[in-house]
Chain A
Amino acid sequence: MQLQIEKESFVTNQYHTIIIGAGHNGLVAAAYLAKQGKKVLVLERRSIVGGSMVTESFGENFQADSIHAGGTLRPDIIKDLKLVSHGLHVDSSRQPFISLLPDSNSLILDPNPVKAAESIKKFSERDASRWDEFVRFMDKAAEILDVAYATIMPRLPKNMNLREGYGLLELGLELRLAGRKDMLNFIRALPMSAQELVEEYFESEIIRAAIASVAIHNSTLGPMSAGTGYTLIHNWLNRGGLSHSNVGKAGEITSALANAVKSFGGEIRTDVEVAKIKIENQIAKGVVLANGEEISANRIISSADPKHTLLKLVGAQDLPPEFVWHTQSIKMRGSVAKVHLQVNGNHGIPAGTLCIAPSIKYLEKAYDAAKYGEISEKPYLEVTTSGNVVSIHFQFAPYHLKTGDWRLETKKVEKIAIETLTEYFPNLQSLVSNLKVITPLDLETTYGLTEGDINHGQLQLDQFLFMRPIPGWSNHKTPIDNLYLCGSGVHGGGGVSGASGRNVVKVLK
């Protein structure tokens, strides 16, 4: 008997680690591990890598960043993984953030604060003079959040041990170093609504709303919702300000990551869907693919969202009941749709990140629709362009519709998006030669995002820090030994940064 056990434990797996999902977080984790010399296999359901960080072709001469408009990984990741040598072009030039207004008198928030202040001046002299202070606070707040996102959260205090507590101590120290006043302002800002936060700085509704729109981007929340102070800081951190960077190059980032994985000796297989994680006595042993093939590994890291990973790939039967209850309770509720337009001719849309967010109330009403399971008739849009392609980010288009079915509502989103934008660019509608709509249902079925939630779980204060993905399990671990989470649904995640993919490597045995 004894002999048999020993023999079993010496069976060597072909792979040290299997990573489920080749999104940016999965690839970051894979690259770090491969760089350490671990035998890594990344399994991707789609035929292309990238997950939500992907540039796809939707027709001839029609390429767009499907979900995230560009983005950038944390600088330490780019450096650690030598991504520049693997094909990443670091473009530090920034485009302006523009709030489109009906009278074609747009607010242009240029990355250059002097230029931004000039534009603000048209709306309020006072606000122009406060721009610098606001940017300074946001940069500082984002810096503090960045430190928090680099710190592995301890489990609930009940379970906290010295080693876990150490991370918090470091975080505490960092916060102290941030300065007492900034730290207090940061903590105070988190539970505030975006509206309350921007009102403290600005008097012009136009400026307030433009900034508040970034707070609700990818969230099923309105600018009057508590906790959108936090999401504003979160998005500011990931974007490095208000506007997107590297628009049209989302796929380039994940391609560079995939190159890095391979060059470090890792393996990536596409077109393979993981159907089940193989578990014996609460220990992950490998994966079972949809085609029945089994691959064993010493450990499994899933970059899929926690709900999918735990309830579908593991299954409730192998998990403790309270854990299952918490996992079921993770708020997903995506409400983002994407409308990509191929345009033939000069659309006249300026470069940069454009938003249709004329007032706080406009944004809040757009969100109201989502509360009642309806598509916003007057949506909050964010628009980016890349060559002949116009990409429209549409909120709110709730995954859970009160009536109707997403298979039939696609046209409605398409129509509202194009008509709304055409009000500002009258030629646009007639120039559209091809288009691609991605509904919340597509986000789920094509991109594997449960309930179409791009963040793998809403970024809300009860799903934040040591409560992300669920209370007591914020350290990437699960009740299944050797199964770890590294997607956007874990602390550090949500949006594009690679933090959760980087962090998981720190907690591995």
Chain B
Amino acid sequence: MFNLKTTPFHERTSALCQPQNWRKWAGYFSAGSYEHVLDREYWAIRNSAALIDVSPLIKYVIKGKDAAALLHRVTTRDIHKMKVGQVAYTGWCDEEGKMIDDGTVSRLDEMMFRLTAAEPNLRWLSMNAVGMDVSITEVTDEVAALSFQGPNTRKVLNKVVEMSVDELKYFRLMKNRINGIEVTISRTGYTGDLGYEIWMTAKDAIKIWDTLMVAGADYGITPVGILAMDMARVEAGLFMLDVDYTSTTHAWIEPQKSSPFELGLDWTVALDKKGYFVGRRALEKEKREGSLWKMVGLEVDWVGMENIFKRVGLPPQIPGMAVRGSLPILVGNVQVGYASTSTWSPLLKKYIALAHLQKPYFEVGTDVRMEITVEHHRQHAPAKVVKLPFYEPEWKRK
């Protein structure tokens, strides 16, 4: 029988997880939330310091003379330009230029990288490493990871680290020590806020958790589950595999696949980089000819929605968490796309969605209508295409 694994923080997270709403994440138990309502956890991300167990992220260590060459070939980024200590977010594609997965590449050393992924990619990486001097090792179980997100995180971290993180720039990493324990700290995250990800050996996980919880007590440190993170990542305009796009490895039909351009990842596709990389030809062609789809932000018009609810005598009703369900989007009576994740943004006080729209409806400012269900009836709330991200605090990169 297939059993879910527990993460190295399970001893702590399981004791805290009041609703017992465990979610399945890459074969691990992952706490949906620690409290019965998400408010406190969500606001910890935006106002204080959220401690999120992201150990289920699939992690590979790629080592050897050709480590950079392998990642340069597999991903769309120019890996040869990366400096040691740099982190790059990237997608990777099949030969048709459609997304397989996405994650971060960290250059730990001249000849050593860490790649994170949502799904197992060992076969794909190995297939691409033919003739290369490189070793690919999955370290998902061995390396525990905490995502530490929110405006207070820098202050908390500086209390416990050997070397200050003040100089650690956005999408850079450093080797450091917490309580004498070796960790890697990267200025990365999945919330669009100031934040760090702390990478450590699994056996040290509990000690690091405890140290942070003590140090953060005065700064509102809060264990946060993945449901609140889901709301924050929509505000940050960040998409999720299997929710907002389908990997080519499990798409049943062509239209289910997405290119990085269609997902708004233009900035990650280095068509000017040297040499072959997987999908290059197809991506060059799409760049030339333009994409037929685009993932955009959608803001639902509150007054318009109020009117629809008013007709049945109700105030607007919004789900209290991110909805991972497809909602049709129309212009006139013609469907021009769909929203893949929608959520109420407590911070922006707006009902927002990540939406996939066909050309030419993906232009910012386009008026569309999104399906909502009001008293068991399908209705269409007016909405507008907006630029992503919905929320970007000045301290994210500072």
User: Which residues in A have some Cβ–Cβ distance to B below 8 Å?
Assistant: 281-282, 311, 315-325, 328
Contacts and interface: CB of A to CB of B under 8 A. Distances in A.
9 contacts: A282-B280, A317-B73, A318-B275, A321-B124, A321-B128, A323-B95, A324-B130, A325-B130, A328-B130
Contact of A321 (B127, B275, B280): B127
Given A282-B281, A322-B95, A317 B127 contact: no
Contacts of B278: 320-321
A42 B30 CA distance: 63
Nearest to B131: A316
Nearest to A320: B95
Contacts, number: 36
B127 A311 contact: no
Contacts of A321: 95, 124, 127-128, 130, 278
B395 interface: no
A311 B131 contact: yes
Contacts of A281: 276
Interface residues of B, number: 15
Interface of B: 69, 73, 94-95, 124, 127-128, 130-132, 275-276, 278, 280-281
Contacts of B69: 317
Given A282-B281, A317-B69, A317-B73, A324 B127 contact: yes
Given A311-B131, A324-B127, A318 B95 contact: no
A508 to B, nearest CB: 20
A323 B275 CA distance: 17
Contacts of A323: 95
A345 to B, nearest CB: 53
Given A318-B275, A324-B130, 5 more contacts: A282-B276, A282-B280, A311-B131, A318-B276, A321-B278
Contacts of A325: 127, 130
A317 B276 contact: yes
A473 to B, nearest CB: 12
Question: Among A282, A311, A321, A323, which residue has the most Cβ atoms of chain B within 10 A?
Answer: A321
A281 B276 CA distance: 6
A507 to B, nearest CB: 19
B276 A322 contact: no
A282 B284 CA distance: 13
A311 B130 CA distance: 9
A322 B278 CA distance: 10
Contacts of B275: 317-318
Question: Among A311, A323, A324, which residue has the most Cβ atoms of chain B within 10 A?
Answer: A324
Contacts of B128: 321
Contacts of B131: 311, 315-317
Contacts of A318: 275-276
Contacts of B95: 320-323
Contacts of A319: 276
The 7 closest A-B CB pairs, nearest first, are A316-B130, A316-B131, A321-B127, A320-B95, A321-B128, A318-B276, A324-B130
Nearest to A319: B276
A452 B130 CA distance: 22
Question: Among B94, B130, B275, B278, which residue has the most Cβ atoms of chain A within 10 A?
Answer: B130
A282 B95 CA distance: 13
A317 B132 contact: yes
